[in-house]
Amino acid sequence: MASIKKRTGKNGVSYQITVSAGYDSTGRKMIHTKTWAPEKGMTPRQTEKALQRAAADFERSIELGFQLDNRQTFAEYAGYVLGLKEQEGCKVRTLDRYKELLVRINQAIGHLKLVDIRPQHLNAFYKNLGENGLRKGNGKATAKPALLEKVKQQGIKRPDLAQAAGVGTSTINAIMRGEKVRQEKAQAVAQALGAPLSELFKVEANTAPLSAKTVLEHHRLISTILAQAEKEMLVPYNAAEKATPPKVARAEPNYFQPAEIRAILDALDTEPLKWRTIVNLMIVTGCRRGEIMGLRWDRVSFDLNRIKIDRALLYTKSRGVYEDSTKTSDVRYLRLPAETMQLLREWKQEQEHNRLMCANLWTNSGYVFTQDDGQRMNPDSITAWLRGFSERHGLPHINPHAFRHTVASVLISNGTDVVTVSKQLGHASVTTTEGFYAHMIEEQKAKATECIADVLLRSGRRSGPDLNAIKQA
């Protein structure tokens, strides 16, 4: 039976609920306590009923084995869970994203005790996320004249500035041309130059509301944290599972038509060999940006006309450009057409020429695609280059991921089985492939049904069935 003790302090009246849970292995009595305070405006009768209910719930939770922590806040426990994720080998990029999301989450519910979090708190938070003005550091920045002067004064070269800031050379070039860049990249450049962001850049804040997809990201992280608390029996249930996050409709994959690919290939003829090779590889393999940038020469087999995809280059604000396993930690071998292999041969020769020109300034990184001095490239540079490429040639905006969807579309529309498509793209499972390209797959199933009907039911059929043939069979 729970015991209740009334306490009166500077914050008003509260009650200490105490429950005994027997004795431990040393013979010491195990006592659990919880502090409960009535809500403002409660009558004495309402207070008494709510207090008895709280005491009964607390006693029942102890009997079920829950060790309710009446002091630990969500923010404190979230830090602990992220530590567990890091120990489990969670990817750096994922952890960095969790930390970004936790900034907003902790502002809203970080002060709440784990045991006090209710679905209503989360629903209110999700609603608030969908309102204007919640984006932080997500604006666009344009260089001021002071930046150009500072670069000139310091005599720093663009590749050196890119390396110091942890951004791609294409980003530095865009800044120097007066183009808008992401605020976080401008911040990195300002920091590398030893000046405040406001001194070197003009920033336009992004006040657009967060998308339903981003709100759902917050919900999933909260659910992950509370699921761990439920697993450790710190809370009786996961409040996020009972909340109502926004629904996100799966967008149809954006892919290129054959005529659009031909237009891109035609425009590439006048571009530098390195970028012709990069884009060609994306078109024929469907690889992710980081996988293309993470490709090394020792993974290219000119004898077998294939490449090995097992590593990727990624970028985060905390680490800059770094190498990691692929998104799904898979290893796959992809065969390449003769045209692509020839581009790789030509590019290898050009890169060797660059190495000789740089002499001792060359960095022998071993990557297929590098900066002018041999250093590895930021995968974001692909997106930036394609943006400029499409503008130069009057082409629609080119999303590099659309090449990936295009490969899937070509394979599926030509009858390739889903398992092979999944392996080509490096998906975690066939289920992932089926989810992404469900509409395309259903269209092919419909064609298969018609094919069966054409061959077995319609081809050369007479006006009526041949009963003799049926009897003989």
How far apart CA 452 and CA 218 sit, in angstroms, is 47
Burial of 145 (0-12, 13-18, 19+ CB in 10 A): exposed
Model pTM above 0.75: no
Question: For residue 442, which amino acid is it?
Answer: E
**Type of residue numbered 63:** E
Tens-digit pLDDT string for the chain (473 aa): 789 999 998 888 999 999 887 776 787 888 888 888 998 889 999 999 999 999 998 888 777 666 555 578 999 999 999 999 999 989 988 999 999 999 999 999 999 999 899 999 999 999 999 886 566 656 899 999 999 999 999 999 998 998 888 887 888 999 999 999 989 899 999 999 999 999 999 998 877 788 899 999 999 999 999 999 999 888 889 999 999 999 988 778 889 999 999 999 999 999 999 999 999 999 999 999 999 999 999 999 999 999 999 999 998 877 889 999 999 989 999 999 999 999 999 999 999 999 999 999 999 999 999 999 999 999 999 999 999 999 999 999 999 999 999 999 999 988 899 999 999 999 989 998 988 888 888 888 888 888 888 888 876 655 555 556 555 55
CB atoms within 10 A of CB 196: 11
Strands 3-9 and 12-23 come out as antiparallel
Phi and psi at residue 325, to the nearest 5°:
-70, 170
Q: Are 17 and 34 in contact (CB under 8 A)?
A: yes
Q: Which of 80, 141, 92 is nearest to 317 (CA)?
A: 92
Cβ-Cβ contacts under 8 Å for 159 (sequence gap 6 or more): 169, 172, 371, 372, 373, 375
CA distance 408 to 66: 48
State the number of CA atoms in the 13 A half-sphere of 51 facing the CB.
22
Tell me if 129 sits within 8 A of 218, measured CB to CB.
Answer: yes
